[in-house]
Amino acid sequence: MLDLEMSGLDPESERIIEVACFVVEADLTPVPGAEMCLAVMPEDPGVLDSMDDWNTRTHGESGLVKRIRENGASIREAEDAVMELLREHMAQGAIICGNSVHHDMRFIRREMPMVADFCTFRIIDVSSIKELLRRVAPDGPRFYKRSDHTALADAKGSLDELRFYVEKYMSTESD
């Protein structure tokens, strides 16, 4: 499971400011001790001062901006931490999973190329599952989540949401 917080949505001009990653088994059980989360100081600290109103308010209220300014890791340190976790617990070709993770991958390809290279092109995008179910089962059960827009809380929320969809919509028993 992976989630990023970014200074904005454009991977060309905005930067990763927090990364969280944890490993789950095939049954969606987290692997004990296989979790990391780091606030990331952009190479240009001015990125934090030029965030739009929504990002300034959201990341200010969550305490992320303060954590970045006080003890933010460099993007290289963050990439190394993710790679250490992946190499310890996963094989080359790891599948990334999360909400709108295809968008996070745009930032990862640009700022964390070793992580992008370690992972397969296949992803499990929980947001896509949600959108599919809204269309094929419009009256079916809905997952309601709360988000404080911190990477680790969002990644854990994505796992909860995925578990909900598996439990409510997908048979996991053999015929």
Q: Residue 25 falls within a domain, yes or no?
A: yes
Residue span of the structural domain in which 18 resides: 2-169
Q: How much of the chain exceeds pLDDT 70, in percent?
A: 98
82-108 tens-digit pLDDT: 999 999 999 999 999 999 999 999 999
Cα 154 to Cα 166: distance, rounded to the nearest angstrom: 18
What pLDDT score does 148 carry? 80
Q: What is the chain's mean pLDDT, rounded? A: 95
Quick check: is 174 in a domain? no
Residue 74 is assigned to a structural domain of this protein: yes
**pLDDT (average), residues 69-86:** 98
CATH of the domain at 35: 3.30.420.10
Amino acid 175: pLDDT: 47
How large is the average pLDDT for residues 25-37?
97
CA atoms within 13 A on the CB side of 76: 1
The answer to whether residue 143 sits within a structural domain is yes
- Count structural domains, the chain: 1
How would you class 154 by CB atoms within 10 Å of its CB: exposed for 0-12, middle for 13-18, buried for 19 or more? Answer: buried
pLDDT range class, residue 149, cuts 50, 70, 90: confident
In a domain, 175, yes or no: no
**Residues of the chain above pLDDT 90, percent:** 94
Within-domain flag for 126: yes
Residue 59 lies in a domain: yes
79 belongs to a structural domain: yes
